[in-house]
Every structure is written in C-alpha cells, then in structure tokens.
A = this chain, B = another copy of it.
Amino acid sequence: MANKLVEIITIGDEIINGQIVDSNSAWIASFLNRSGFEVNKITSVPDQSEAILQSIDSAFSNAGIVLLTGGLGPTKDDITKHCLCTYFKTKLVFNQAVYDNMTEMFNKRGLWTINSFNRSQAEVPEACTVIINRKGTAPLSWFEKEGKILVSMPGVPLEMMWSMEKEIMPRLLNKVQSQAIIQRYLWVKGYPEAVLAEFIADWEDDLPPELKLAYLPQRSVMLLRLTAKNSDEANLNNLLNSNIEQLKTLLGEAVFAEGVKSLEEALGQVLIKKRLRLALAESCTGGALGARLTRAPGSSAYFLGSIVSYANEIKQDLLAVPEIMLQNKGAVSKEVVEAMAEGVRIKLKSDIGIAISGIAGPEGGSKEKPVGTVFIALADNDQCLCRKFEFQLDRTGNIEQAVHQALILLLDYLYL
C-alpha cells in the first residue's frame, strides 16, 4: 500500500518562464487535502527530458504518490510520455480506445480530420494503465512500481480537474489509507504578528503534538490556521474544538471571523452580521475588486453590483461625477474617487459604496501622479473615507494591491 505523501510535478516551458501562473498545483493540493492526502512538494520543470526525469526520480524517492500534469499535447514540444517510457523502461504502443475517444471528440467538434500528429496522442506507454480523458484527447497514464503510484494527466485546467475528480481520486482512495487532516481558521484584528505571537505563546506551547499553528498575515489582520493530523478523525475534531475555544476566549473581540480562508469571505461574515450591503465603482481595476468579493460563495447576500467606469463619460453619466471636477482635478484624484463612491452608493441603493481610481500603468503617469498612484474611497450615509497610495509596481501588481487595499479599507471601516 502506497504511503499517502504526494508530490506534484507540473511540466511546461510556459510555467517555468512565468508566462502562466501554475494554478493547477494549488487546486490539486487543496483538493487532495480535503480528502486527507498531504502534499509534500510541488515542482515545476520545463519541457526538457533531463529535468523531467530528474524530478520524477526525486519525487518517487520521497513520496508514495506522484502526480504529473502537462506536456501531453500532440506537438513536438510535448515530451512527457517519452520521459515516462524512459523512466519506466517501456515503449509507446497504439491504443484503440484512446483513438476512438479522440475520433468521437473530433466528430463532436465537427471540423477536422485526425492527422498523424493527433494519431500520436493515441500512443501510450505499454507498462501503464490507460485512463480515457472524456474532456479532451490526451489520455491519463497510471503507473505502479514498488508499491508507489505515478499518474500523468493533461495540464489543461478543465481536463485536469475532471481527471482528478472523476478518475484519479476514486482510485487513490481505493489504494491508499489516507489520514485525516482537519484545518480550522480564525481571523484576528488589532494585533501585529509578533504581538499576537507573544500574547498567545503559552496557549501555543501547550498545544498537543497533533496540532500545528500557522500565522498567515494579511496586511493589517492575521489569519490563524490550526491544522490537525491523525488517523482518528473524531478525536481530532474534539481536540481542535477545545483548543479553538480556549483561543477564542483568550482573544475575545479580536476574533472577527472564523472557518473561512480568504479575506473576502471573512469580510462577508462581518457584512452579513452587520446587515450592510455593498456597491462598487471601479476604474483602473476594471472589475477586479468585484471579482475578488464574489469569489466568496453566498456573496449575493451583501454584494449588489458595480459600475466599472473605465471611460470618463461613464463616471459622469452613471456615477454623477461632475464634468468640471474631472476636468479640474483629473480622474485620479481624491475628489473624483469620493464622488464615485458616493455616486455608486446612491445609484445602486447600497449602504456602502467603495470606489477605486488610479494609474495602473505602464502608460499614463505624470510627475505629480506617477504610475501606481491609486485613490480608494469608501462612502456611507454619514461619511466618506479616502486613502491615497503609490504602489510603484508593474500593472498587475498595482491592480492587485489596489484590490487588497480596498478590502483593508473596508475592514478598517467596519472596525475602527
């Protein structure tokens, strides 16, 4: 029986040169965690046989389960299965079931006939169990060796997710005795990391060995994660509950949310508790703040919607920002962002309006307002708060920080 430690290897030049962010690994790790599997390492390597072989060898020596994604396309730069043949000392053979699945896919899409490049996707390592990919043309390969498991799957996110959920996890659960991993989250405000650590040091020192505490600072607030690992799930839950209760008693009002991993979910809990509804006016962030807030399930309870006023005419027409103010102060100014926050609050009939206006870059900066200058405002029925930032990052970084700082402004508003 394979041990339950997992290593993930993601293969592709596009990951290694930073063209895409490897979000597959996080998805897989989180999915495995929920079923009690623990990831020990994540490695990303280019489409180069030496690097791929070395990473497989290293993973196989540490982990009981190795999951590979990517490098299964029909073209010359995709070499994963050739590497697997080398590693498992086997050869490629034609598989009729894979070919039939491919034919079906092609017929559904209706446009092209299968050529020799496609046909090569039906060639699979002889020594593996082949699993048909019902969402694409590249099959999965399942290898077992010396009680360990290696699975190669496609890197296309939709196909990867389908493979993990429908094909890989059910087989893993059959093969491997997984241990329970339970995690609890507490959100704490008002303490810098080191002060909090000092304040709860005695409690932390007394934690039983099955429990592990992590500090996950989110700018001005702290996310505490308590992880428990063991084979006895009921016992773990009791242990966690009693220690969490002790911690909550210790921290009192400083705990403002629990049970959720993201700041937007934590804020959602507070907004629901306070019965407040939110509307947004976004300019340079283009909708990213709304997208972040609505990542939280159930966000429709407090999020009404946004007006993304990328063009100035929309700031005037829909948010009632006076034309003369835009002319005199500029779209990126305290006055305009406050008018936007107030404008969207009234237009969308919400309790709170939040607005962002800034210069994300790379163009559009000036000496007075360099790239990275962002104004963020929050308006309610009585007041309007406004903060100015100069992030000095690239476009993506400036937008990310603007979204994050808007959440922090909301948090401060709710608790200051």
Binding site for B on A (CB under 8 A): 13-23, 25-33, 38-47, 51, 54-55, 58, 62, 73-78, 111-112, 114-118, 121, 156-158, 161-162, 183, 192-195, 197-198, 204, 212-217, 225, 227, 261, 280, 282, 284-291, 293-295, 297-300, 303-311, 313-314, 318, 347-349, 360-363, 391-397, 399-401
- A297 to chain B: which residues have CB within 8 Å? 361-363, 395
Q: Known A289-B287, A291-B288, A310-B303; judge A39-B25 contact (CB<8 A).
A: no
**Contact: B18 with A215, CB < 8 Å?**
no
Q: Which of A38, A115, A227, A298 is packed against the most chain B CB atoms within 10 Å? A: A115
Q: Which of A27, A74, A198, A360 is packed against the most chain B CB atoms within 10 Å? A: A74
**Contact: B14 with A214, CB < 8 Å?**
yes
Tell me, in angstroms, the Cα distance from A157 to B31 when the chains sit together.
Answer: 25
- A112 to chain B: which residues have CB within 8 Å? 192, 195
Q: Known A22-B25, A363-B298; judge A118-B194 contact (CB<8 A).
A: yes
Tell me, in angstroms, the Cα distance from A23 to B397 when the chains sit together.
Answer: 11
- A18 to chain B: which residues have CB within 8 Å? 25-33, 39
Tell me, in angstroms, the Cα distance from A65 to B309 when the chains sit together.
Answer: 44
Q: Known A39-B16, A43-B43; judge A285-B291 contact (CB<8 A).
A: yes
Minimum CB–CB distance for A388 against chain B, Å: 16
- Candidates B13, B116, B156, B400; contact of A157 at CB < 8 Å: B400
**Contact: B288 with A74, CB < 8 Å?**
no
- A46 to chain B: which residues have CB within 8 Å? 40
- A286 to chain B: which residues have CB within 8 Å? 287, 290-291, 293-295, 299, 303, 306
**Contact: A21 with B13, CB < 8 Å?**
no
User: From A113, which residue of chain B is reached at the shortest CB distance?
Assistant: B195
Oligomeric state, in copies? 2
**Contact: A304 with B294, CB < 8 Å?**
no
Minimum CB–CB distance for A289 against chain B, Å: 7
- A305 to chain B: which residues have CB within 8 Å? 307-311, 314
Q: Which of A121, A286, A318 is packed against the most chain B CB atoms within 10 Å? A: A286
**Contact: A393 with B16, CB < 8 Å?**
no
Q: Known A29-B17, A304-B311, A308-B287; judge A117-B193 contact (CB<8 A).
A: yes
- A78 to chain B: which residues have CB within 8 Å? 215
Minimum CB–CB distance for A189 against chain B, Å: 12
**Contact: A194 with B393, CB < 8 Å?**
no
- Candidates B16, B29, B51; contact of A16 at CB < 8 Å: B29
**Contact: A197 with B74, CB < 8 Å?**
yes
12 contacts between A and B (CB under 8 A): A15-B29, A16-B40, A16-B42, A19-B261, A58-B58, A114-B194, A285-B291, A286-B294, A287-B291, A295-B396, A297-B361, A300-B310
- A31 to chain B: which residues have CB within 8 Å? 18
Q: Which of A112, A288, A313, A395 is packed against the most chain B CB atoms within 10 Å? A: A288
Tell me, in angstroms, the Cα distance from A349 to B14 when the chains sit together.
Answer: 38
Tell me, in angstroms, the Cα distance from A240 to B27 when the chains sit together.
Answer: 37
**Contact: B214 with A158, CB < 8 Å?**
no
- A217 to chain B: which residues have CB within 8 Å? 73, 156
- A41 to chain B: which residues have CB within 8 Å? 16, 43-45, 51, 55
Closest 4 A/B residue pairs (Cβ): A287-B287, A286-B294, A18-B30, A287-B290
Minimum CB–CB distance for A112 against chain B, Å: 5
- Candidates B22, B30, B215; contact of A26 at CB < 8 Å: B22
Q: Known A25-B44, A157-B397; judge A14-B216 contact (CB<8 A).
A: yes
- A62 to chain B: which residues have CB within 8 Å? 54
- A158 to chain B: which residues have CB within 8 Å? 391, 393, 397, 401
